[in-house]
């Protein structure tokens, strides 16, 4: 068995269920606070989930990072995006210079941005770029597999190692982000292959194609499914056939975060496709995921539902990069602050119903 397969198997084995006793203690604490039971809605769910993950109530999650995985897509040759592949390395340099939307929103949320080249088609030189290129872009999924099974495992390993290194450095919470022109196409193919969605349901406008180009993109996804015949009972093989390098690496980040008992905020359509693969490889990993926003990308709602996630915010965003996920950090902070600072019925002298 290959080293990367062993790393994946070890990581999956290390993912434990959440701590039921800590969840019970969080529920009891929440019910003692000066509010009708359950009235803080999803904030209460987050408090319980974080307690179950960390084993403590109101844990300090201030050291956090968004991992931006970058890779290119052979399927861009089919004309599925409004932008050319050159934008992928150009945006990577923008991330490294601190000028992209995710950098601004990460600063707002006190998060570091970690940018990893796992499969950009061009060579990028920058001292802050994590160089982990598995191969320079995928092959065209409309004609054959995106990559080999071994390459998919290698990209997953990059993500697992990134998450476990961040955990060792004391990061307490992660978010997923990506950059890869064309990547809404393999993401839609993964939805169709693993979540029983039709290509028509799963394909959206991505960076802003028009309605007729979207119909063409639906046909490209259908061709990718016919040509590759992915098997839903083999999520790794499906990822290799119709996925992408940055998607595979994000699958690894999510599995690695779960194995290290770190909460992981899931961004938009592409990150959620990676989360879908993670949940199919290791169902226990879903308990460590926190849905962030509902992307405008068609199919994101159905995709989140297939993983069992529900979004916290609806801001009509459709960018990716991790922008929605880092905004989600603010709501996790708010939830943790509630459980740390709110008065109880007893301490405030408020009568219970
Ligand atoms: C300037 C620019 C910045 C971006 N940041 C994220 N994306 C987003 O758009 C791409 C997916 O859409 P499609 O499948 O239609 O190509 C991904 O790179 C995603 O991260 C961007 C796209 C552009 C053009
Ligand atoms: O939801 C996303 O992640 C998304 C949607 C459109 C384009 N890029 C990313």
Which atom of ligand 1 lies at the shortest distance from residue 91's CA?
Answer: 3
Burial environment of residue 208 by CB neighbours within 10 A (0 to 12, 13 to 18, 19 or more): exposed
Q: Which DSSP letter does residue 350 get?
A: P
Residue 268 in contact with ligand 2 by CB distance below 6 A: yes
Query: What is residue 8's predicted lDDT score, i.e. its pLDDT?
Result: 98
Ligand 1 atom closest to the Cα of residue 82 is: 15
- Ligand 1, atom 3, residue with closest C-alpha: 91
Please provide the size of the chain in residues: 353
Distance (Å) of CA 251 to CA 162, 214, 255, 271, 294: 11, 26, 6, 8, 19
Which atom of ligand 1 lies closest to the CA of 206? 15
Q: Establish whether residue 177 lines the binding site of ligand 1, counting it when its CB lies within 6 angstroms of any ligand atom.
A: no
> Which has the closest alpha carbon to 70: 12, 138, 8?
138
pLDDT for the residue numbered 353: 79
- The DSSP element (H or E) to which 289 belongs, if any, is strand 289-291
Which of ligand 2's atoms lies nearest the C-alpha of 207? 7
Residue nearest to atom 6 of ligand 2 (CA): 206
Percent helix, strand, coil in the chain, to 5, is: 55, 10, 35
**Closest ligand by atom to 84 CA:** 1
User: Would you give per-residue pLDDT tens digits along the chain (353 residues)?
Assistant: 899 999 999 999 999 999 999 999 999 999 999 999 999 999 999 999 999 999 999 999 999 999 999 999 999 999 999 999 999 999 999 999 999 999 999 999 999 999 999 999 999 999 999 999 999 999 999 999 999 999 999 999 999 999 999 999 999 999 999 999 999 999 999 999 999 999 999 999 999 999 999 999 999 999 999 999 999 999 999 999 999 999 999 999 999 999 999 999 999 999 999 999 999 999 999 999 999 999 999 999 999 999 999 999 999 999 999 999 999 999 999 999 999 999 999 999 999 97
What does the pLDDT read at residue 106?
99
How close is the Cα of 206 to the center of ligand 2, in Å?
Answer: 6
Give the Cβ contact number of residue 72 at 10 Å. Answer: 28
The answer to whether the CB of 206 is under 6 A from ligand 1 is: yes
**Edge-to-edge strands, sheet with 173-179:** 130-131, 111-119, 64-71, 173-179, 264-266, 289-291
**Is the CB–ligand 1 distance for residue 178 below 6 Å?**
yes
- Which ligand is nearest the CA of 79, by number? 1
User: What pLDDT, on a 0 to 100 scale, did the predictor assign at position 75?
Assistant: 99
Supply the residues annotated as catalytic: 321
Cβ of 319 closer than 6 Å to ligand 1, yes or no, is yes
Give the residues across from 265 on adjacent strands.
175, 290
Distances in Å between the alpha carbon of 113 and those of 109, 130, 153?
11, 11, 24
Measure the CA–CA gap between 133 and 125, rounded to whole angstroms.
Answer: 12
DSSP 56-123: STT----SEEEEEEEE--GGGGG--SSS-TTHHHHHHHHHHHT-SHHHHHHHHTTEEEEEEEEE-SS-
> What Rg value do the Cα atoms of the chain yield, rounded?
20
């Amino acid at each position: 068995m290959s080293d990367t397969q062993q790393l994946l198997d070890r990581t999956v084995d290390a993912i434990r269920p959440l701590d039921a006793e800590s969840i019970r203690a969080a529920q009891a604490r929440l019910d003692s606070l000066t509010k009708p039971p359950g009235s803080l809605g999803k904030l209460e769910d987050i408090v319980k989930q974080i307690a179950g993950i960390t084993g403590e109530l109101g844990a300090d999650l201030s050291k956090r990072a968004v991992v931006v995985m970058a890779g290119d897509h052979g399927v861009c040759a089919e004309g599925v995006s409004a932008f050319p592949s050159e934008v992928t390395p150009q945006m990577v340099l923008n991330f490294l210079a601190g000028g992209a939307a995710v950098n601004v929103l990460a600063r707002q949320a006190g998060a570091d941005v970690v940018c990893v080249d796992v499969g950009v088609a061009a060579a990028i030189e920058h001292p802050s770029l994590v160089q982990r290129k598995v191969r320079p872009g995928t092959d065209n999924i409309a004609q054959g597999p995106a990559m080999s099974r071994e390459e998919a495992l290698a990209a997953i390993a990059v993500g697992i190692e990134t998450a476990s290194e961040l955990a060792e450095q004391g990061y307490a919470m992660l978010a997923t982000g990506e950059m890869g022109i064309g990547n809404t196409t393999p993401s839609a193919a993964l939805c169709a292959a693993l979540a029983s969605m039709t290509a028509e349901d799963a394909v959206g406008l991505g960076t802003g194609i028009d309605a007729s180009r979207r119909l063409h993109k639906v046909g490209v996804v259908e061709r990718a499914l016919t040509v590759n015949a992915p098997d839903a009972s083999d999520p790794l093989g499906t990822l290799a056939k119709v996925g992408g390098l940055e998607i595979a690496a994000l699958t690894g980040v999510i599995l690695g975060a779960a194995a290290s008992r770190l909460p992981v905020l899931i961004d938009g359509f592409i990150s959620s496709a990676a989360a879908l693969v993670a949940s199919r490889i290791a169902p226990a990993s879903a308990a460590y995921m926190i849905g962030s926003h509902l992307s405008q990308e068609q199919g994101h709602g159905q995709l989140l539902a297939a993983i069992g996630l529900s979004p916290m915010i609806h801001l009509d965003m459709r960018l990716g990069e991790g922008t929605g996920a880092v905004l989600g950090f603010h709501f996790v902070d708010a939830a943790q602050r509630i459980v740390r600072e709110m008065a109880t019925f007893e301490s405030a002298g408020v009568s219970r119903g």
